[in-house]
Structure 1
Amino acid sequence: MTRWLGVALLPRAEHTRTAIRLQRSLSGDRPLQPPLTEHGNLPHLTLFQGPFEDGLDPAAELARIGGAVSLPEQVSLASLGIVHQPTGWLFMSVERPALLEKLQEVVLDGLAPRLDRQAFDTSKDTSRFTEAERVSFARYGYRYTGDAYAPHITLGRTDEVTALELVRTAPERTRVPAAWDFDRLSFYVMGEHGAHAETLAERPLAAA
């Protein structure tokens, strides 16, 4: 049976709450989907997600990742602002240091052979993807790997017109932190729009 899973960095508790407030203040009376919460759809920064074969051991995978990369107790990433991504997505974009690139490489090295490639959505409209995103999607079933990797916290999705308006008016609605701090690795079940719907395993960065 195919399982839709992901690996992510989770913000420390204070910044988890900040992301939840940011989604609400940004969207106003036009809620973004899915709503972020502390006990459901967690704010997160995805390293990779996709359809996997049965048999993965999430805790063992997190230990493998941590064993391959020297991780600090906390990773602080500078904010690059709220951005729109076709179609209808709103992201809190952050910088892409070498450490994140290395983490994604390690994740892919272990997990790519376990992908259920028959479950890739080959009917997906990729006309608004960049060339690098199309290459990534064809290879891994996920838009943001390698040159196309775009670290972000997903703030939610809506219709394209509303998304563009919310990005345009974001400075009037919200105050974005200068940086976001992450202190845990998570292996999770994907929910609506790729949300972090259920935690399967979680480890502090320095202990991973």
Structure 2
Amino acid sequence: MTRKLGIALLPWPEHTRAAVRLQQDLGVGEPLRPVLSEDGNLPHLTVFQGPFDHRLEPGPVLERIAASLSLPAAISLASAGLVHQPSGWLFLSVERPVLLEKLQETVIGLVEPHLDRAAFDTARDRAHFTEAERAGFARYGYRYTGEAYAPHLTLGRTDEETAAALARTGPRHTALPGTWIFDRLSCYAMGEHGAHAETLAVRPLG
């Protein structure tokens, strides 16, 4: 049985609430989906996601990640602003330090044997992908890998014009935290638009 799962970093509770408020503030009049909440679709920073076979065990894989990489108790990342990503996505981009690159490399190395490549969405429109994103998608079923890895918190999806306008004007009307702090690893079941819909396992960093 194939399951669509992700590995993510979860922010401090204070920053979880800040991301929820940010989505609400930006989505006035044109709600962004899926709706983020503290007890539903959690704000998160995806490290990797995709379709996996039934042999991938959420708890043990987080332990293997932690054992394979020396992680601090918390990771502080500077905000890089709002980004419109075709088609219709609004991201809160953050910096990409070497630690995050190593974390993604480690995660992919551990979970790749469980990828169900037959379940890759080959019908997906990739016309707006960069070359690096196409390569990542073809190899792993996830566009943001390797050179194309773009750490971010997804604030939601709407129509293309609205997403582009929010990325331009949002910072004028809404205060963006200067840094985001993450202190947990999560394995989650994907929901609408790849949301962190159900927490299957969680582990403190470090």
TM-score scaled to structure 2, two decimals? 0.99
- What does 1:148-163 align with in structure 2 at a 5 Å threshold? 148-163=148-163
Point out where structure 2 has 5 or more consecutive residues left out of the alignment.
Answer: none
Give CA deviations for 1:22-59 in whole Å, capped at 9, x if unaligned.
00111111100000000010000000000000121111
Query: Is 1:144 aligned with 2:144?
Result: yes
Per the alignment, residue 8 of structure 1 pairs with: 8
Q: Secondary structure at the match of 1:55?
A: coil
CA distance in 2, matches of 1:200, 1:144: 22
Say if 2:82 and 2:171, in contact at 8 Å, map to a contact too: no
Per the alignment, residue 121 of structure 1 pairs with: 121
Say if 2:188 and 2:200, in contact at 8 Å, map to a contact too: yes
Q: Secondary structure at the match of 1:60?
A: helix
Per the alignment, residue 19 of structure 2 pairs with: 19
Query: Is 1:62 aligned with 2:62?
Result: yes
Say if 2:91 and 2:152, in contact at 8 Å, map to a contact too: yes
Question: Aligned-pair RMSD on alpha carbons?
Answer: 0.6
Displacement after TM superposition at 1:108 (Å) = 0.4
Give CA deviations for 1:156-180 in whole Å, capped at 9, x if unaligned.
0001011111112102321111100
Per the alignment, residue 191 of structure 1 pairs with: 191
CA distance in 1, matches of 2:17, 2:80: 19
Per the alignment, residue 130 of structure 1 pairs with: 130
Whichever residue aligns with residue 61 of structure 1, its letter is V
Deviates more, 1:185-194 or 1:159-168: 159-168
Per the alignment, residue 168 of structure 1 pairs with: 168
Point out where structure 1 has 5 or more consecutive residues left out of the alignment.
Answer: none
State the percentage of identical aligned residues. 66
Q: Paired residues, what number? A: 206
CA distance in 2, matches of 1:20, 1:194: 17
